[in-house]
Amino acid sequence: MNSSLLAWIILIPFISSFVLGALYLYSISIKKINDTIFTFLAILAPITSFLIGVAFFLSLKNGATDYMYEPYTWLGVNGYIISMGFLGDKLSIFMVLFVTFIGSTIHVYAAGYMKGDEGYGKFFSYFNLFMASMLLLVLANSPIIMFIGWEGVGLCSYLLIGFYFTEPLNVVAGNKAFIVNRVGDLGFIIGLVIMFFYVGKLGFDYYALEDYISLVPTSILTIIGIALFVGAMGKSAQIPLYVWLPDAMAGPTPVSALIHAATMVTAGVYMVARFHFLYDLIPHVGEFMAYIGAFSALFAAIIAMRQTDIKKILAYSTISQLGYMFIAVGLGAYSTGLFHVFTHAFFKALLFMGAGAVIIAVGHEQNIFKMGGLRKKLPLVYSVMLIATLAISGIPPFSGFFSKDEILLKAYRHHEYLIYGIGLFTAALTAYYMFRLFFVTFHGKNYKQKEMHYLSWSMKAPLLVLAFGATVAGFVGLPEVFSQTNLIDEWLKAYSGGALHVEHTTEIMFMGISVVVGLAGIVVAYVKYFKYDFNKEIQESGIVYNKFYIDEVYHFIFVRGIQKLSRFISVDVDDGVIDKAVMSLCGGFINMGRRIGRMQCANTRVYAFFMLLGISSFSLYLILKLG
């Protein structure tokens, strides 16, 4: 295969985005363009990229070596060169496959969801820019090029979250996403710069970095590792930079599906896996990462238990599931983390699309306690949501079970018992809050239910595809007890962190514990919410419902603090001190000028006196100088 095709995986959605954007501007200001044209152009792009990705996949599978394509020198300063380059290895092609696959299904779904929207063309322009950025992030062959995609993803999330920009809340949420991500990017860029100066001068692509990274002292590696992880915290919404993600729900629901499943949030996990050669050398940073992941998982799960907005619950569940992934990659089990990224992509996209279908059907209501009894009215959505909920709750044989269980097993095997315990407990909470959502939304009786809106096939078909995926995706990473070959570990051998052999009986025992814990969560949710009485108005309150007031604290410290500082600088310091000093200096000159001006009094005698004074002093000077 021609390696230049790697660039086309990115270029196709990029060009599509550009064309769509131009057509959209044309459409709104000159002549209306039919939405079908937009749909066609939009959906073509991710599907084409997916097909190219499949071709690369097959080629790599048949033993081809990694593809490297460097079209031009991006930057050359001081004799060091950074190329615009793309790398198609097993990791990046794996990412490309599921990003474009899930992305394609979301595109189809969005075509139905956004139908008739004023900004239809704009939406897909942003969508494909999002895909292009994510693919650039994944296919880049050096951290700098990765950073271009990395920030591009952040920009697109801003654009899509604030899609309905006339409403202040949406734009504020978009700004928040961008700025919080930028805090992460600050970490990323610091890591990048340090890395460049310590090893990058020998070559800044991943191969070279991998070869020379061991030359760097561990203390520096630790700083680099933490700095890069701060970047991952931002993108993948981990404590303390998770705050943007729940607010990101302001965007249309397909956006949430795209951000949470296929793109953006997985970038942090991917980045850590990509820098496995770095993190392998600094296991203490990895352990820190695993703890951050574990606490994020627990913390978000606790908050999710009390939320009433269907999308907010799912948002917190994403943070929680990402926490699991960081447990895995932190402990060096990169392929396990990526396995969970993979399964999560299916069931989370499905959950969001299902939630979107529900929201559309009940007329843009998002409070689950105002839904209820949708089972009969939305049978298809009901069944796919059941599959997805079972998958995220870790019930076999659905996909989430295998990946989550493997993470827990790895944590146990690394003797991280606290992390294991937190993970297990969180699994119970997950099952509980997800089934709370499920029961409240679909079961029980709700007499207030109004007319249902019709769901188009372009929304239903992707649900079916993803439901199938959410069911079977776990089989690519079967545990040893069921199958000799774990396809995922096999494919990502370089990232598996070494095989961990476990006794089959132990393995089965751990699975049993996981299942029991998950079921326990479901049972509690069943008891509390299965026959929920919608007649009494639910009013959640308290510290958990209010998300531990973290947003308020952040707002007070950072936003208010900086605003006060800004006012202080511009009013008190600049106007009050500096400009005042300048003006009083000026005023001094003016006064002096007035005094000097008084000499010009139109009195001939005074002039004559000055003239005399001048001539005599000049003569004196000449005499002294020459004499």
Partner 1 sequence: MDIGLLSFIIFLPLIVSFILLVLPVGMKITRNIAFVTTIIVFLLSLSIFFKFQLTDYMQFREFHPWISSYGIYYSLGVDGFSMIILMLITTLIPLGYLFLWKTKKSKGYWASMLLIQTGVTGALLSLDLVLFYFFWESMLLPVFMIIGIYGTGNRIFSTLKITIYTIMGSLFMLVSILYLGVAFYNEFGVWSFQLSDLVQITTLSNFERTLLFFGFMIAFAIKIPLFPFHTWLMQTYSNSPTGGVFILSAIMAKLGIYGIVRFVLPLFPHQYVEFAPYFVGLGVFGLIYFGIAALMQQNIKRMFAYSSASHLAFITAGIFSLNAYGMTGAAFLIVAHAMATGGLFLLTGTIEYDLGIRSISGLGGIAKKAPFLTVAFALMLLCIVGLPGTNGFVSELLIIFGLFEYNHYVGVISALTVLVAASFMFWLFQRAILVKTDNDVSKMKDLDIKEIVGIFGLAAVIIAMGLYPHWFLYKIEPTIQHYLVDILKVGIGS
CA atoms within 13 A on the CB side of 586: 6
Q: Which is nearer to partner 1, 570 or 603 (CB)?
A: 570
**CA 260 – CA 248 distance, rounded (Å):** 10
Q: Which is nearer to partner 1, 77 or 215 (CB)?
A: 77
Q: Which is nearer to partner 1, 44 or 148 (CB)?
A: 148
Q: Which is nearer to partner 1, 191 or 330 (CB)?
A: 191
Q: Quote the tokens at residue 416.
A: 């991280």
Q: Please tell me whether residue 74 adopts helix, strand or coil conformation.
A: strand
Least separation, in Å, of the C-beta of 338 and partner 1? 25
With 0-12 / 13-18 / 19 or more C-beta atoms within 10 angstroms meaning exposed / middle / buried, residue 43 is buried
Q: Which is nearer to partner 1, 516 or 571 (CB)?
A: 571
Dihedral, 398, 400, 406, 407 alpha carbons, nearest 10: -170
Q: Which is nearer to partner 1, 190 or 472 (CB)?
A: 190
Q: Which is nearer to partner 1, 233 or 424 (CB)?
A: 233
Least separation, in Å, of the C-beta of 570 and partner 1? 4
Q: Which is nearer to partner 1, 194 or 350 (CB)?
A: 194
Least separation, in Å, of the C-beta of 564 and partner 1? 9
Q: Which is nearer to partner 1, 71 or 512 (CB)?
A: 71
Q: Quote the tokens at residue 541.
A: 């309150």
Least separation, in Å, of the C-beta of 281 and partner 1? 21
**CA 405 – CA 411 distance, rounded (Å):** 10
Q: Quote the tokens at residue 71.
A: 């079209």
Q: Which is nearer to partner 1, 15 or 97 (CB)?
A: 15
Q: Which is nearer to partner 1, 553 or 569 (CB)?
A: 569
Q: Write out the residues near partner 1 by the rule CB under 8 A.
A: 21, 25, 28-29, 72-78, 84, 144, 147-148, 150-152, 155, 158, 162, 165-168, 171-172, 175, 178-179, 182-183, 185-186, 189-190, 193-194, 196-197, 562-563, 565-567, 569-570, 574-575, 578-579, 582, 586
**CA 91 – CA 274 distance, rounded (Å):** 8
Per-residue buried b or exposed e for 172-198, using 16+ beta carbons within 10 Å of the residue's own CB: ebbebbbebbebbbebbbbbbebbbeb
Q: Which is nearer to partner 1, 83 or 307 (CB)?
A: 83
Least separation, in Å, of the C-beta of 569 and partner 1? 4
Least separation, in Å, of the C-beta of 119 and partner 1? 10
Q: Which is nearer to partner 1, 568 or 607 (CB)?
A: 568
Q: Quote the tokens at residue 596.
A: 């000097």
Please say whether the dihedral angle defined by the alpha carbons of residues 65, 63, 45 and 353, taken in this order, is positive or negative: negative
Please say whether the dihedral angle defined by the alpha carbons of residues 57, 63, 66 and 68, taken in this order, is positive or negative: negative
Least separation, in Å, of the C-beta of 161 and partner 1? 12
Q: Quote the tokens at residue 108.
A: 């189809």
Least separation, in Å, of the C-beta of 47 and partner 1? 25
Dihedral, 235, 238, 242, 246 alpha carbons, nearest 10: 90
Give the N- to C-terminal CA distance of the chain in Å, as an integer: 94
The answer to whether residues 122 and 24 touch, using CB atoms and an 8 Å cutoff, is: yes
Least separation, in Å, of the C-beta of 587 and partner 1? 12
The answer to whether residues 260 and 246 touch, using CB atoms and an 8 Å cutoff, is: no
Q: Quote the tokens at residue 453.
A: 């809106």
Q: Which is nearer to partner 1, 578 or 622 (CB)?
A: 578
Q: Which is nearer to partner 1, 562 or 599 (CB)?
A: 562
**CA 245 – CA 249 distance, rounded (Å):** 7
Least separation, in Å, of the C-beta of 17 and partner 1? 12
Q: Please tell me whether residue 73 adopts helix, strand or coil conformation.
A: strand
Residue-wise DSSP of 172-235: HHHHHHHHHHHHHHHHHHHHHHHHHHHTGGG--SHHHHHHHGGGS-HHHHHHHHHHHHHHHHHH
Least separation, in Å, of the C-beta of 282 and partner 1? 19
DSSP assignment, residue 308?
A: -
Least separation, in Å, of the C-beta of 278 and partner 1? 18
Angle at 110 between CA 388 and CA 39, to 5 degrees: 145
Cβ neighbours, 10 Å, residue 3: 16
Least separation, in Å, of the C-beta of 32 and partner 1? 14
Least separation, in Å, of the C-beta of 343 and partner 1? 31
**CA 403 – CA 394 distance, rounded (Å):** 9
Q: Quote the tokens at residue 437.
A: 């959502």
**CA 383 – CA 442 distance, rounded (Å):** 10
Please say whether the dihedral angle defined by the alpha carbons of residues 189, 191, 197 and 202, taken in this order, is positive or negative: negative
Closest by CA position to 481, among listed 393, 412, 406? 406
**CA 106 – CA 87 distance, rounded (Å):** 26
Least separation, in Å, of the C-beta of 13 and partner 1? 14
